[in-house]
Structure 1
Amino acid sequence: MNTYGLLGRDIGYSFSRNYFSNKFKNENLDCSYQNFDLKTIEELKTIIQDKGIKGMNVTIPYKEEVIPFLDSLDPTAEEIGAVNVIKFGKDGKLTGYNSDHYGFTESLKPLLNKKIKKALILGTGGASKAIAFALNKLNIKYNFVSRNPDFKELSYNDIDEDIIRDFKLIINCTPLGTHPNTENHPNIPFEYLSEHHVLYDLIYNPEETTFMKKGKEHGAKTCNGLRMLVLQAEKSWDIWNQ
């Protein structure tokens, strides 16, 4: 039996384990999927000795930290600087890939309108790098927003009416609002949103976050991260089997 799994920390909620376990059952595949819930990335050294593991997904907080443990990176993952898929080769070599950008791009396309020229990316972690890569490919300019901004980034205090009116796409790449702390949300001035805005939340649990609810109250289109997760998961399966 081939083993696949999710590498992360505090991942009892794991979308990936449920998704792939159901997939393997429904398609009669002799495979299993488990969570590799590690307190530190150093623990990975022991796990990768298991010859039965054929692939892993990677989630918070290891999308960047895992890179030094890999033998090579797919060119796209290298350009993004973050990995969410690891393929275990027959020779024992580990190759890092990124399927997040694909999942995000394909789930975003139906929501776009002609007024969307610029985006705000809330958060600067590993997921935000794939989002920035995807926006580049879609020719949408973007700015990162951070609680601790560097000279190229905006702080939440910088976001005013003019910025909200200028940036019609706002993507939450932070964990704020994830179950069970569902009342949390990024601190932006929602009152300046309009029907021309799209609020995209990478969170999928709950199905509608407070960030999305507040956007909808002001006419914005909203989307959670579930479709992105499904698309990136299927892309992971393609990578493991190519």
Structure 2
Amino acid sequence: MKEYGLIGFPLSHSFSQKYFTEKFQSENIQDSRYNLFELTDIQQFPALIRNQPQLCGLNVTIPYKQVIIPFLDDLEPVAAQIGAVNVIKFANGKLKGFNSDYQGFLQSLQNFCPDYAQAQALVLGNGGAAKAVIAALDYLGIAYKLVSRNPTKEQLSYEQLTTSLLKDFSLIINTTPLGTYPNVATYPPILYEALSSDHYLYDLVYNPAETVFLRKGREAGTKTKNGYEMLCLQAEVAWQIWNS
């Protein structure tokens, strides 16, 4: 039996287990199963590997996407560039890290925003998810500005997002956890009244399906998309990595 799984903490609401369990059933994949491995500390990772010799691949989620890297034998170039790993492949006794968030977001953005080549983007947040988004924007040649609560020379503050500036950035991507269940009332503090039908709002959050960020955007006439398709696409990329 081939075993796959997810490491992170906490794992009470796992998209991955549900997705892969349903995938195995619908595609009649009978030799594989997907489990949750909740680690309260990343130092528990080596013991997990020793105790689960049948593991063929793992997904990695918060808070371990960056701190997992020293435990791996190798990284794909994109994961090294991003500095975050969400897929681990087991092969010949070695562990290699990949980042399928990057590919999932890239494909989903192309589906959502057909005129992406002419767009400029605002990336809300500067964590690991933002790094995957930035790598995809760089690949697509989309100019962007980072927005953070703690601005620097390279990052804007939310207070700097004026009406005139927002007109110049048609693509706004939320990579923060604001609005995620159960804190569904939270949202990025931008001038939603300055948005129009020329804007595209993408939220990496998928639970709830429509965050306050997306609802306010929809009410202003923007096109909106949540992170569910990205999750599905990155999961399929992970499956391809494990079986390549």
Helix, strand or coil for the counterpart of 1:137?
helix
Change (3 A) 1:20 1:211: same
Distance 2:67 2:148 in 1: 20
Letter matched to residue 34 of structure 1: N
Unaligned runs of 5+ residues in structure 2 are: none
Corresponding residue for residue 98 of structure 2: 97
- Which among 186, 190, 199 is matched to residue 188 of structure 1? 190
Change (3 A) 1:219 1:94: same
With normalisation by structure 2, the TM-score equals: 0.94
Corresponding residue for residue 213 of structure 2: 211
Distance 1:76 1:181 in 2: 32
- Which among 69, 77, 89 is matched to residue 87 of structure 1? 89
| 4+ residue runs over 6 A deviation | none
CA RMSD of aligned residues (A): 1.4
Letter matched to residue 212 of structure 1: L
Helix, strand or coil for the counterpart of 2:209?
coil
Distance 1:172 1:59 in 2: 18
Unaligned runs of 5+ residues in structure 1 are: none
Distance 2:153 2:65 in 1: 24
Letter matched to residue 103 of structure 1: G
Query: Residues 140-155 of structure 1: matches in 2 within 5 Å?
Result: 140-155=142-157
Q: CA deviation at 1:213?
A: 0.2
Distance 2:217 2:105 in 1: 19
Distance 2:43 2:162 in 1: 42
Helix, strand or coil for the counterpart of 1:35?
strand
Letter matched to residue 200 of structure 2: V
- Which among 119, 122, 130 is matched to residue 121 of structure 2? 119
Q: CA deviation at 1:182?
A: 1.0
Number of aligned residues: 241
Distance 1:25 1:113 in 2: 34
With normalisation by structure 1, the TM-score equals: 0.95
Q: CA deviation at 1:160?
A: 1.4
Corresponding residue for residue 8 of structure 1: 8
**CA deviation digits over 1:216-236, x for unaligned, max 9?**
011110000011111110110
Distance 2:66 2:23 in 1: 28
Query: Residues 10-25 of structure 1: matches in 2 within 5 Å?
Result: 10-25=10-25
- Which among 233, 236, 242 is matched to residue 234 of structure 1? 236
Q: CA deviation at 1:113?
A: 4.9
- Which among 222, 225, 231 is matched to residue 223 of structure 1? 225
Distance 1:151 1:10 in 2: 34
Letter matched to residue 26 of structure 1: S
Distance 2:37 2:205 in 1: 20
Which is further off, 212-221 or 22-31? 22-31
Letter matched to residue 134 of structure 1: A
